[in-house]
A and B are shown apart, each in its own frame.
Chain A
């Protein structure tokens, strides 16, 4: 209602303006409604206003340490210090980003640092086109735009639920998003039977979005066997797989071990059973480079010849949008990957971050009241979030009565929980689930 009022206000004022305008009969703007604010941002705003000293923000998808503070990964800090001393230019990168960065991503992810022979073969055959992008969202936008222009189907199947921005990005680029079953909130578990069924019902050649690991928001991933079955459906239905990997390393604490799904795909691409797919990837979470906007899009093509055309078309899409990507984050990534000691220290930083999240997840679980409520799903979920299964009414009660802020789908960002507030949080949850 508030929104409607504002929209009305806008148009009334505009009419007044028109009447007073002496220079022209033209009204310059169409009705510009107030766009709804971003949900997560809205929560942060409300959190800031709250005077309760015990307030907890579980909305933001950025890591907080055990004191509730943002951190810079020590390895990143070292890389930046080194960079400040050695940087001699801030020139533009090519349209598709720094070549060094592209090669690092290819080697790190597809070659899995010499652990994936199939990925290595794809790289050697020139079948992987990688471009540096404006982190994860930017890579999703670029691939959506590319598929809209060149792919035979506009339909993109996304899991229900998925990251809130997926649908907006795809729709904005001209694709038609549609949900496939993924999670059963009443059981707090994968809705696996329906997942397979709803995918199998879709038209051949559709695009399908798959989360590589640490599914956002549910934290519930397919088992390796389930992945095989889904990839069989992908083959049978000739789907184009678009993989989003925003949380590499947050499952196991080790980035090399979180990409089983990619390795399955590189094998299928190498044997041409799934001749092409795309991967959106970012260093936002696993290197803590959030605001530096550091990520990539990789398109696996059917041949080295096709790669040249794909790369030239990607550049053509990027040039009129933002010309070239930002360099600070990619230079940090390059600095870390080009120095073995720094690389090891990054892997250890990441491992510690994930370790804290897993410890606090367990602590929360231990303190939750299990008499009338099963919390086992918390321990099955992976990544930065717990998908509690709480109803929106319960989430609103948590906010109003306990100053605990989370999105209404019941997704909690674990990084907002620490030794100082876990007891308070568990008690608050126990209170709102009382029959």
Chain B
């Protein structure tokens, strides 16, 4: 391929690469704490009962087909999705200030948000990401051509929020910059600001008129309660804390277990006052972008989620399923911490239970993570992020012992 220049072989994506190494490992007692997908207590993937029921209803309904959705996606889906994240009583919905579109799950929503902001936002085109953040955030925005910077978030010494550093970064950024906030269950740290801290953070963002981009990938996973987990977003909007533009990227990958079906939405609140003409223009531009990238989004997953959101019985089942998932993860956090304390593993382990969502930011360093994988067949991301969903009653002992061994092995490192 002589006419191709610079096509060099790249290392695999860290998360997908981890999964590939795990799959290739022949040890029967290997443990996958890598990618963020829920596992039941037998370590098996889980299709939510609400989803199974919705699928049954969907494919047997008389009007089921595989026709193209409109470019915006499935309207009953994205309108209901807006209510899930913004609340049924949302001020922004009542004032018709929300432009919603279906997306290829969370990544697709972030990409679409980025392309739109790049073309039409006239603030400062620097995107601020939390330090640390989800591995893909940086690439998503750099791919579109943004300058990416970071704001302090996790204090490794205290294993808690670096609020001071966070607020200082907001203050120091040029007015009208773009801040990406994790709406809840921060990935990878599992550490969220409390309500008072959110209030401070949002007011600081407002003061500098930064564009606020909420990434909501884990609604319902932090507390088990969809409403509680939407606190930051609803506080910003309903109490009119933020008047600068708000963009919300929403995924049903985790909370509905729709992972590979790619179901998500983008919601843009462009102004703090109603502006129908502007919103129509925004929608038309989003459509133009989507049309030349993928024509229209995938139908099946959005129809399932729409069914769940529109049928009270299925909705109740879904809320129950969320509790099933979040409470099992909660139990595993307690079990892991308990075992480590029992073993007297050097360091403190209370952060494992204070963190929320699917992950624990263990504090293990890269060398320890490498040894976990090589010696013990326990796989996690090199940052020390462990997917707690990968733990179960059958493997938590083994994982605790493995962590204990690697921590003692690298005894010089501080925890």
Contact = CB atoms under 8 A, between A and B. Distances in A.
Interface stretch (A312-320, A400-408, A419-427): A312-320
B9 A308 contact: yes
Contacts of A134: 104, 293-295, 298
B66 A320 contact: no
A425 B20 CA distance: 57
Nearest to B295: A137
A240 B5 CA distance: 14
Interface residues of A, number: 90
Contacts of A268: none
Interface stretch (B192-200, B279-287, B330-338): B279-287
Contacts of A309: 7-10
A28 B121 contact: yes
Contact of A90 (B13, B67, B123, B258): B258
B271 A290 contact: no
B245 A291 contact: no
A91 B104 CA distance: 15
Contact of B273 (A17, A26, A240): A17
A35 B261 contact: no
Contacts of A88: 44-45, 47
Contacts of B59: 80-81, 84
A381 to B, nearest CB: 23
B111 A10 contact: no
B9 to A, nearest CB: 4
Interface centre among A80, A276, A323, A325 (most CB of B within 10 A): A323
B300 A292 contact: yes
Interface centre among A87, A301, A326 (most CB of B within 10 A): A326
Interface stretch (A92-100, A186-194, A335-343, A367-375): A92-100
Contacts of B111: 320-322
A293 B261 contact: no
Given A291-B298, A292-B66, A87 B47 contact: yes
A275 B1 CA distance: 7
Interface stretch (B135-143, B164-172, B180-188, B221-229): B135-143
Nearest to A324: B260
A419 B44 CA distance: 52
Interface centre among B3, B211, B243 (most CB of A within 10 A): B3
Interface in A48-91: 62, 70-72, 76, 80-81, 84, 87-91
Contacts of B20: 94
A328 B294 contact: no
Interface residues of B, number: 90
B270 interface: yes
Nearest to B13: A319
A11 to B, nearest CB: 9
A219 B26 CA distance: 53
B244 interface: yes
Contacts of B3: 151-153, 205, 238, 240
Interface in A259-280: 275-276
A26 B66 contact: no
Contacts of A124: none
Interface in B95-110: 104-108
Contacts of B409: none
A7 B280 CA distance: 10
B301 interface: yes
Interface in A276-311: 276, 288-293, 301-302, 306, 308-310
Contacts of B13: 95, 315-316, 319
A150 B71 contact: no
Contacts of A323: 104-108, 136, 262
A92 B260 contact: yes
Given A10-B277, A150-B7, A306 B293 contact: no
A289 B142 CA distance: 33
Interface in B153-169: none
Interface in B308-347: none
A328 B298 contact: yes
B43 interface: no
Contact of A312 (B6, B10, B258, B287): B10
B284 A92 contact: no
Contacts of B106: 323
Contacts of A313: 7-8, 10
Interface centre among B45, B66, B71, B281 (most CB of A within 10 A): B66
Nearest to A164: B291
Interface centre among A9, A35, A291, A293 (most CB of B within 10 A): A291
B266 to A, nearest CB: 13
B10 A37 contact: no
A29 B247 CA distance: 13
Interface string A15-56: 001001101101111101111111001000000000000000
A21 B111 CA distance: 30
A223 interface: no
B308 to A, nearest CB: 14
B363 to A, nearest CB: 27
Nearest to A139: B294
A32 B278 contact: yes
A169 interface: yes
Given A32-B120, A89-B47, A288-B66, A137 B260 contact: no
Interface centre among A62, A141, A240, A319 (most CB of B within 10 A): A319
A393 to B, nearest CB: 27
Contact of A326 (B12, B71, B261): B261
A122 to B, nearest CB: 14
A135 interface: yes
B107 A320 contact: yes
A253 interface: no
A172 B64 CA distance: 34
Contact of B257 (A14, A90, A169, A325): A90
Given A138-B295, A320-B144, 12 more contacts: A17-B275, A36-B284, A90-B261, A92-B260, A95-B16, A149-B6, A291-B69, A292-B66, A293-B299, A310-B7, A317-B143, A326-B298
21 contacts: A6-B277, A13-B275, A24-B243, A28-B176, A33-B281, A34-B280, A37-B284, A38-B71, A87-B47, A91-B259, A95-B16, A137-B293, A240-B3, A292-B298, A293-B295, A312-B10, A313-B7, A313-B10, A320-B139, A321-B111, A322-B111
6 closest A-B pairs by beta carbon, nearest first, are A291-B299, A89-B45, A326-B298, A322-B104, A327-B260, A328-B300
Interface of B: 1-13, 16, 19-20, 35, 37, 44-47, 51, 55-56, 59, 64-71, 104-108, 111, 119-123, 136, 139-140, 142-144, 175-176, 206, 209, 211, 243-245, 257-262, 270-271, 273, 275, 277-278, 280-282, 284-285, 287-289, 291-301
Interface of A: 6-7, 9-10, 13-14, 17, 20-21, 23-24, 26-30, 32-38, 41, 62, 70-72, 76, 80-81, 84, 87-95, 134-138, 141, 149-153, 165, 168-169, 171-172, 205, 238, 240, 275-276, 288-293, 301-302, 306, 308-310, 312-313, 315-317, 319-329
